[in-house]
Structure 1
């Protein structure tokens, strides 16, 4: 399992064969067969017509999860070969059983394979449904290939249907998920390479100690040679220590960089969506236990696509950075500010009531509309539409806060843009705020 996760499939097959040759229990035989099949798939060596494969499936007749994983591996092989009919034959008969296992990784992988097959067959509705189910499972999965595939399918569906805004949003999420997944793989590879280096270093030390012992045994006959070898040993030891120090520093800098990439948006240097979710969830938990309010502001730049299309993406990136800097200057140090989409930003305000949140949103709206764009060489205005809610109206669930603020933000868009709207849970609508004045709450 360890080597499969690292992508070291040859080593995974080697240890699976050792396990199978050790007369294991029936359960361990099933696990060894399943992990070997996963490695063969990774090496593109899986033969779906092999009698060995059928025997492996039969060995897992009492292990539902691993048997289902094997069917998933076989279906993935058929999908790579473009044989979608066999994909359905492998997965659809046992789909209900797979869902009953409540095992997120298995369910997500099966959904991802089926969604890709449906998309190949132009069954758009089925593909979208399964991809959305994977997205709903994403919080419990971490960074996996299934989540990457889901966003890719949703992006391609939106593009095929001509919904380019949704396609852009899903493409951003696909790129973020793919990057996070690749970052995880790189981190694992780095750890594996460091372990290999440490093993080689240990072997080198043992060799040097053996040599030193031999020299001590012949001390009287080789006194002069011993002194020269000791000097050589010290030089080698210094070189090894220097090398270890270099690797330790290199590892520290890489980890620091990986952490920054994982937590911050590369363009605006504010929190990205994934890290914002973690920090905001922690803040909500604290506020709920302490019985204090938390307000949530969501805003989206108006007509941003027109800026990109007319003046270029470099100009659009300049606007995003200026907006982030302008809004950061308005808030408190403990406010949680993030870019969660292409031109979409949010601010979580722990310990802040709704009236204060409205004042901050108005300050941000004015700061954005006051951005001087002449430095770009073009003349245009930058405005944003805001939606606001708090825990008294939307509760302490982050998803509900986001949805309610999103509804309020779209009300701002619909009522003229460059304004603020507050979510109203009683009227099932939002309360619009005048674009240049704050209404009393």
Structure 2
């Protein structure tokens, strides 16, 4: 009978151990890679189609047909954006059910797309279009939910963009600070070299060192003041809407809730106005984003001028603005809305190439026992806006509570 020699046995055990160890690592890496979703590159035709303002143009139609033929060859992100474009194309001709079908097909691809890529603006616009189409077919609950998702994703998008901007500014500031510090260190080194070369007396050396310390303290104080000023500016910017310079959504909610709480405690009146520029999307599509931004900035300025000092006025989203009017009755709120409407209608936008009159719709809701917090007032006012939109817009409508 043959037996395995001890030396060979030990070699066999060692080889088996290393084989199992490397096999385990390979399987672990494969499992880790299986859960990673890469960021897809985008077809040039898709990117061109997204940038086109007119989806009915011959160029857009040609691109859509080419992409339709190659749909199965597109990656998940490209298929997602293609379906969103198709949805936008059908929405304009009131085929809301077909639009919703396209958008839900696109939404089903989200699990196959990297979350960072989904957070980009062309992707999150799906929920905005979905909300509009749900509203178009009367499914207001789904429209509201889709709108909330869009607002959440859009806020996250804006926050990420703002964080990138702030990071770039901080990096620039840090580079400048290091350059200033290096320059000071070089000056200090030169001074020390001169002290050695000229063999100054102890009294002169001491006096010079005192001057250097004072200079460094002075520079440090200047840098500290500059840093405090920059931080203060960053805090101020975080409270404002980046485009219009008025209160952003976060601050609007905070100040609105505080105003309502004060009025409830004081048992005084309060009205909330939801204001929307009529046909803004059409104007933006026709004249471009730059002109659209100019309209929003000017509208925000006119709105601010029309408010009282105690009123809270800010931008909620896109072309929708909110005004909270403490100690105001429905008649007073309507008067303020009419004043703003007249002011906007009278303003000439011909300097940006728009000849037609700008119109707006306003939904007014008054504080009451059943509508006693900011969220309820806001949701009710937005529903009034949807009713005005269905009726053709260009109205000021007061919400009437059921008896």
Q: 2:305 aligns with which of 305, 329, 335?
A: 329
1:247 aligned residue: 223
Aligned-residue CA RMSD in angstroms? 4.6
Q: Any stretches of 5+ residues in structure 1 without a counterpart?
A: 1-48, 54-73, 83-115, 129-145, 205-210, 212-222, 428-441
Aligned-partner Cα distance in 2 for 1:395–1:147: 38
Q: 1:412 aligns with which of 388, 391, 397?
A: 388
Q: Is 2:90 the counterpart of 1:124?
A: no
1:178 aligned residue: 160
Superposed displacement of residue 386, structure 1: 0.7
The secondary structure found in structure 1 opposite 2:392 is coil
Aligned-partner Cα distance in 2 for 1:360–1:335: 11
Aligned-partner Cα distance in 1 for 2:327–2:370: 15
TM-score (norm 2): 0.58
Superposed displacement of residue 301, structure 1: 0.5
Superposed displacement of residue 395, structure 1: 2.6
Aligned-partner Cα distance in 2 for 1:162–1:285: 31
TM-score (norm 1): 0.53
Q: 1:78 aligns with which of 35, 44, 54?
A: 35
Q: Is 2:249 the counterpart of 1:273?
A: yes
Aligned-partner Cα distance in 1 for 2:344–2:385: 16
Deviations 1:191-210 (A, max 9, x none): 9x79x99xx99xx9xxxxxx
Q: Within 5 Å, give how 1:337-376 maps onto structure 2.
A: 337-376=313-352
Superposed displacement of residue 348, structure 1: 0.6
Of stretches 315-324 and 165-174 in structure 1, the one that deviates more from structure 2 is 165-174
Larger CA Rg, structure 1 vs 2:
2
Aligned-partner Cα distance in 1 for 2:304–2:268: 23
Q: 2:124 aligns with which of 151, 155, 164?
A: 155
Q: Is 2:359 the counterpart of 1:392?
A: no
Superposed displacement of residue 327, structure 1: 2.1
1:423 aligned residue: 399
Superposed displacement of residue 405, structure 1: 0.4
For the Cα contact (< 8 Å) 1:264–1:270, is it kept in 2? yes
Superposed displacement of residue 361, structure 1: 1.2
Change (3 A) 1:182 1:363: same
Change (3 A) 1:157 1:398: same
Aligned-partner Cα distance in 2 for 1:356–1:76: 63
Of stretches 244-253 and 271-280 in structure 1, the one that deviates more from structure 2 is 244-253
2:285 aligned residue: 309
Q: Any stretches of 5+ residues in structure 2 without a counterpart?
A: 1-23, 40-76, 81-104, 134-145, 186-191, 193-198
Q: 2:202 aligns with which of 217, 226, 251?
A: 226
Change (3 A) 1:248 1:284: same
Q: Is 2:265 the counterpart of 1:283?
A: no
